[in-house]
Structure 1
């Protein structure tokens, strides 16, 4: 349920009610809004709980949360959340662009890409140090050496670093180097990993599984939020259908639908969503047009030489051209980019 505090409620009253919620065996999440503060009381509620909370100091009302996902719901927080990491701003009228190679391959490859994507307008560098691959014989990433190269690229360019973490045991190591922890599609329902990411002070980019429903995506996000980490971004990267003309099917209706259901920002991944470099520019522009809060795009200096996903990676000139088109759409809609 939601404990809605009166406008102007004192901090002492808010803290008192959070403690009251905890004393009833519920978990309290304090969410500060533009006009009011609410406390999400999560857990098995007893019939007398609502009445007990309604009489508290500074309380305006107590209401049930109808959605199965509690902290992620717009019932709890009507205002859109904006995730801010260094110069990267995602959500609440700001479009953040995360760009870079599928895999970190070398210092030269990464620094060249970082400089180019920053010049074109990206505010975060994406790159895989740990790579989940379908085949055990495929390139698995440079691991910690790759993380060190990402940190060096950040040092030179100032770009926030986005990279994937694959297991709970690796969370602290990856968080040591990265600004945003990416949870890949294959791990969307790795609940121990979700909880581990919820316990660190890093933003999280959560990708939708290729066969996951929207409710399953939101409930996966709830695992992270429930551990106290409010800096969560949802990522639509395409779902598996019977269609074969693209790598996955990229449903852009996900963006406005999620905006109705959750306050969390929504990022689109057109690289995995299409699997073809020649489709990415138009899908990026379309994503901006439907209100996406962010884009994550694979970019490589020489896609034909990439160790993974070269066929869906833009080269540096193509990325710059894509950013120019997206900026025109963003400007027309009044979106900061």
Structure 2
């Protein structure tokens, strides 16, 4: 159920609706809009009778929501959501690019990469400090030392930091440094972690699980938003199919589908999506062409020597060229790519 308030509704009117929702044992969720506030209801086990809410002062309407992902649905919020991440606005007409290595390795590597990707037009830096890997014998990241190096790179360049949080045990440490908390594909349905990042109120980049449906991805986002954290970015990063010539199959169908079903911003990860270095720039262009609000790309100063994901990482020259192409596609669609001053 969605309670839509009138534009002239007072704070007291809104609180009266919230009290009525709580009285029934449910949870209210305020959803601010351009001209008026809506209030979503969660916790109900069945259909909600709209009439008791329609008669309350300040209420314009009470609308039944058909989707199981209530708070992230366009039925709840028809217009696109935008969110503040530091001094940047994510969502809307402007496209953002997050770039950097899969893993933080050394000071020279991460600071040098940050400087290069900023020059090419990225507004945010990616880099893993705590790295969940398929094999326990692969490089697991520098952990706290990696977080310190990311903070140093941010200080040097002004780029905001996106880094993965792999479990609830290290969430507090990661949240101290990260501007955006990344939930990786393997953790998309780690519900304890989703609820915990919801409690932080920090921006979250939620990657689609490698075998997850679009609906499952939206339900994962619902876990975060239901805890009160509305600053969620959905990220298509490729799914596992029968194809073996690429690492994954980048499901660009998901972008327009997610944009039609949800008001949340949608990013694309072409690096993991295809996993083939020479094909990543084409997937960057394609992501913008289908309407993505941003992309997250792996960039390394010397990909063959990278400790993780070198086979899908661009070097500085390749990334700079790819960014020129991304700007051309964005311009053709009447959009622009953000760049730090």
Same-fold call, TM cutoff 0.5: yes
* Contact 1:88–1:124, Cα closer than 8 Å, also in 2: no
Match in the other structure for 2:138:
138
Q: Give the aligned partner of residue 326 of structure 2.
A: 326
Q: Deviations over 1:254-291 (max 9, x none)?
A: 11111110001111000000111111111101110110
Shift of 1:11: 2.2
| Count of residue correspondences | 337
Q: Distance in 1 between matches of 2:110 and 2:86?
A: 19
The C-alpha deviation readout for 1:113-168, integer Å capped at 9, x for no partner, is 00011111101000000111111111000001100100111111111100000111
Q: 1:190-241, CA deviations, whole angstroms, 9 ceiling, x for partnerless residues?
A: 0000000000031000000111000000000000000000000011000000
* Equivalent residue, structure 2, for 1:169: 169
**Aligned in 2, Cα 1:47/1:84: closer, same or farther, shift over 3 Å?**
closer
CA distance in 1 between partners of 2:193 and 2:46 (Å): 31
- After TM superposition, give the deviation of residue 103 of structure 1 in Å: 0.2
| Cα shift at 1:7 | 1.9
Moved more, 211-220 or 92-101: 92-101
1:84 to partner: Cα distance = 2.4
Distance in 2, matches of 1:187 and 1:127, equals 17
Match of 1:231 in 2: 231
SS of residue paired to 1:205:
strand
C-alpha contact 1:87 1:159 (8 A) present in aligned 2: no
Supply the distance in 2 between the matched residues of 1:71 and 1:46 (Cα, whole angstroms): 16
| Contact kept in structure 2, 1:185 and 1:207, CA below 8 Å | yes
User: Counterpart of 1:81 in 2: which secondary structure?
Assistant: coil
Contact 2:210 2:238 survives alignment (8 Å) = yes
| Alignment partner, residue 307 of structure 2 | 307
Cα distance per residue 1:37-74 (max 9 Å; x no partner): 10001121566742221111100111111001010000
C-alpha displacement at 1:22, in angstroms?
A: 1.6
Which residue in the other structure is 1:97 paired with? 97
Distance 2:38 2:298 in 1: 39
Aligned-pair Cα RMSD in Å: 1.2
Q: Per-residue displacement from partner, 1:64-93 (whole Å, max 9, x unpaired)?
A: 110010100000011111132124433122
The structural deviation recorded for 1:111 is 0.3
Quick check: 2:30–2:40 contact (8 Å CA) kept in 1? yes
Cα distance between partner residues in 2 of 1:307 and 1:69: 38
- Confirm or deny: 8 A CA contact 1:83 1:233 kept in the other structure: no
Q: Find the aligned partners of 1:78 and 1:65 in 2 and give their Cα distance.
A: 12
8 A contact 1:87–1:123 mirrored in 2? no
1:35 Cα offset (Å): 2.4
Aligned equivalents of 2:241 and 2:297: distance in 1?
A: 22
- Name stretches of at least 5 consecutive residues in structure 2 with no aligned partner: none
Structure 2 residue 13 is matched with structure 1 residue 13: yes
Deviating more after overlay: 151-160 vs 4-13? 4-13
Q: Which residue of 2 aligns with 1:190?
A: 190
Preserved contact between residue 89 and residue 95 of structure 1 (Cα < 8 Å): no
- Check the 8 A contact 1:26/1:45 in 2, yes or no: no
Tell me by how many angstroms 1:244 deviates: 1.0
* In 1, Cα distance between equivalents of 2:69 and 2:123: 30
Secondary structure at 1:292 match in 2? coil
Deviation for aligned residue 1:36: 2.3
Relative to the length of structure 2, the TM-score reads 0.96
Give the Cα separation in 1 of the matches to 2:65 and 2:160: 35
- Other-structure match for 2:64: 64
Name the SS for the 1:9 alignment partner: coil
**In structure 1, distance between residues paired with 2:283 and 2:293:** 14
Residue pair 2:201, 2:228 contacting (<8 A) in 1 also: no
Report the counterpart of residue 76 of structure 2 in structure 1. Answer: 76
Range with greater deviation from structure 2 (170-179 or 5-14)? 5-14
Alignment check: 8 A CA contact 1:191 1:223 kept: yes
Match of 1:275 in 2: 275
The 1-side partners of 2:270 and 2:47 are apart by 47
| 1:136 counterpart SS class | coil
Q: Which runs of 5+ in 1 are unaligned?
A: none
